[in-house]
Structure 1
Amino acid sequence: MPHMYVEYTNNLQGLNEAALMEALNATVCGHPTVSDEADVKTRIAQVSHYRIGLNSAGRAFAHVELRLMAGRTAEVKKELSDRIAAVLKSVIPAQAGLEVQLSVDIVDMDKPSYFKGKL
Structure 2
Amino acid sequence: MPQITVDYSAELTDDFDRPGFARALHASTVEIVDASPAACKTRFRRTEDTVVGQDGEGHVIVHVGVGLLAGRTDEAKARLTETALELLRQYVKPAEGLTLHASAMVSDLDPSYRSAKTA
Question: What's the TM-score bracket when you normalise by the shorter of the two chains?
Answer: 0.7 to 0.9
Unaligned 5+ segments in structure 1 are none
1:30-68 CA distance string (max 9 Å, x none): 32521x111111011111122222211100111100001
* Partner Cα separation in structure 1 for residue 18 and residue 83 of structure 2: 18
Give SS of 2:32's match.
Answer: coil
Secondary structure of 1:31's counterpart equals helix
CA distance, structure 2, for counterparts of residue 118 and residue 18 of structure 1 = 22
Who is 2:72 aligned against? 72
Please give the alpha-carbon distance, in whole angstroms, between the structure 1 residues aligned to 2:73 and 2:32.
14
SS in structure 1 at match of 2:54: coil
Determine helix, strand or coil for the equivalent of 1:30: helix
Deviation at 1:110, TM superposition (A): 2.0
Instruction: Map residues 36-51 of structure 1 onto 2, 5 A cutoff.
Output: 36-51=36-51
DSSP 3-state at the match of 1:61: strand
State the alpha-carbon separation in 1 of the partners of residues 18 and 74 from structure 2.
29
Query: TM (normalized to structure 1)?
Result: 0.88
1:15 matches 2:16: yes
Tell me the amino acid that sits aligned with residue 65 of structure 2: E
**What are the Cα deviations for residues 88-117 of structure 1, in whole angstroms up to 9, with x where unaligned?**
011111432111101001121122x11123
> TM-score, normalising length from structure 2?
0.88
Provide the alpha-carbon RMSD of the alignment.
1.5
Instruction: Count how many residue pairs are aligned between Structure 1 and Structure 2.
Output: 117
Moved over 2 A (4+): 29-33, 116-119
CA distance in 1: counterparts of 2:30 and 2:71, whole angstroms: 18
Report the counterpart of residue 61 of structure 1 in structure 2.
Answer: 61
Q: Which amino acid aligns with 2:83?
A: R
Where does structure 2 lack aligned partners over 5 or more consecutive residues?
none
